[in-house]
């Protein structure tokens, strides 16, 4: 159930000083997804090396039996005991599943609260379990990291967490996503996201048809019976190919119904692509004035946003590149370590 990932120098500080902070890190998500949570975990882990000592914990796989054991036993009752036994200073759970009690100070990262806002987009088990179990887990944590100010507000409103317990530490973007490099050929609008209802791909496909633009969709097969007609479905692509697609796109459209952050918005801007995204939520916050904002429930508004983004391509490219430079995984790791030290004192 547990495994060790050692920092440079092992248990000793490379400078010859005191032993570094020992952090227990739940890495189960790496076996379950390649989406935003996995990106967050991979980038954080890479930057913790040499700064803290990491103990890695994992449990189970994607099967139903593993899901039940993980969510009913491992997270609420077993993980905290394992962390205490391994004598870590801090336990970090990078999703909102965490112990309901622990002898080790726990930090929990929350990426979104979509199941509260859009329960219809999730399976019956998730709809039933998460709103009942996760609030107890978050209240038991020493600190909760929100990936955006929007998510901070959701935690206060929907879960009732005290604001002083929450720290906002944004996500960032990998170096592969840059304006330099090959670009995919063709004239197309690009969408990136798992095929599931919350990503709003059916309305986006309708919008693309209204303006006569080819829509290409890159992402994992998902759930919820999403049907896309008249689009070019690319499936999952690696980061190098995804960067090529961003660079070659007339614009990137991300009119999601709900996000806690919206990493594709940042990736697209870092590659120099103009972006269309939803108003009034986390993606508007991430875009920071560097994207065209639309009502995600209105295909006509999305269509108009696509045409506006293409017309303003040069302006949005410059603004997007500047905005993307404000986010750094190194800074994310630094601020996360500050939270570790805050709770381990």
Name the residue among 310, 94, 138 with its Cα closest to residue 212: 310
Asked whether the beta carbons of 243 and 182 are under 8 A apart, the reply is: no
- Burial of residue 224 (CB within 10 Å: 0-12, 13-18, 19+) is middle
Quick one: tokens of 312? 């303003």
Per-residue pLDDT tens digits for 141-188 = 999 999 999 999 999 999 999 999 999 999 999 999 999 999 999 999
264-290: pLDDT as tens digits: 999 999 999 999 999 999 999 999 999
- ∠ CA(18), CA(335), CA(254), 5° rounding? 150
Sequential DSSP letters for 68-126 = HHIIIIIIIIIHHHHHHHTT-SEEEESSS---SS-SS-EEEEE---HHHH-GGGS-HHH
Structural domains of the chain in order of their starting residue, each with its CATH number: 2-172+328-344 (3.40.50.2000), 188-324 (3.40.50.2000)
DSSP secondary structure string for all residues of 138-195: HHHSSEEEESSHHHHHHIIIII---GGGEEE------TT-SSSS----SSEEEEES-S
Q: What is the pLDDT of residue 12?
A: 38
Start-to-end C-alpha separation, the chain:
27
Task: Confirm whether pTM is higher than 0.85.
Answer: yes
Collect the ranges in the chain with pLDDT lower than 70: 1-18, 33-34, 61-62, 222-225
Closest by CA position to 217, among listed 203, 232, 199, 230? 232
């Amino acid at each position: 159930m547990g495994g060790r990932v050692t920092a440079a120098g092992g248990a000793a500080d490379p400078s010859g000083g005191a032993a570094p902070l020992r952090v227990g890190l739940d890495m189960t998500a790496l076996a379950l997804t390649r989406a935003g949570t996995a990106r967050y975990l991979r980038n954080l882990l890479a930057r913790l090396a040499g700064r803290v000592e990491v103990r890695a914990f994992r449990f189970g796989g994607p099967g139903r039996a593993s899901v039940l054991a993980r969510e009913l036993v491992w997270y609420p009752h077993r993980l905290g005991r394992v962390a205490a036994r391994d004598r870590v200073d801090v336990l970090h759970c990078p999703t909102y599943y965490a112990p309901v009690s622990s002898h080790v100070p726990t930090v929990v990262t929350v990426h979104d609260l979509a199941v509260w806002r859009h329960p219809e987009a999730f399976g019956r088990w998730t709809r039933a379990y998460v709103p009942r179990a996760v609030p107890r887990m978050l209240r038991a944590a020493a600190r909760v990291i929100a990936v955006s100010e929007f998510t901070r507000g959701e935690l206060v409103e929907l879960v009732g967490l005290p604001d002083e317990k929450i720290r906002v530490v944004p996500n960032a973007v990998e170096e592969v996503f840059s304006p330099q490099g090959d670009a995919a050929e063709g004239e197309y609008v690009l969408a990136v996201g798992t095929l599931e209802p919350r990503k709003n791909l059916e309305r986006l496909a309708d919008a693309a048809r209204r303006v006569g633009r080819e829509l290409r969709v890159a992402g994992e097969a998902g759930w919820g019976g999403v049907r896309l007609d008249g689009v070019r479905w690319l499936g999952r692509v690696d980061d190098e190919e995804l960067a090529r697609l961003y660079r070659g796109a007339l614009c990137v459209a991300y009119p999601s119904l709900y996000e806690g952050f919206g990493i594709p918005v940042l990736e697209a801007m870092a590659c120099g692509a103009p972006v269309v995204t939803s108003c009034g939520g986390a993606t508007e916050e991430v875009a920071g004035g560097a994207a065209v904002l639309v009502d995600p429930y209105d295909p006509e508004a999305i269509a108009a946003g696509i045409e506006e983004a293409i017309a303003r391509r040069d302006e949005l490219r410059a603004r997007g590149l500047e905005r993307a430079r404000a986010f750094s995984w190194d800074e994310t790791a630094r601020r996360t370590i500050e939270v570790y030290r805050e709770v381990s004192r």
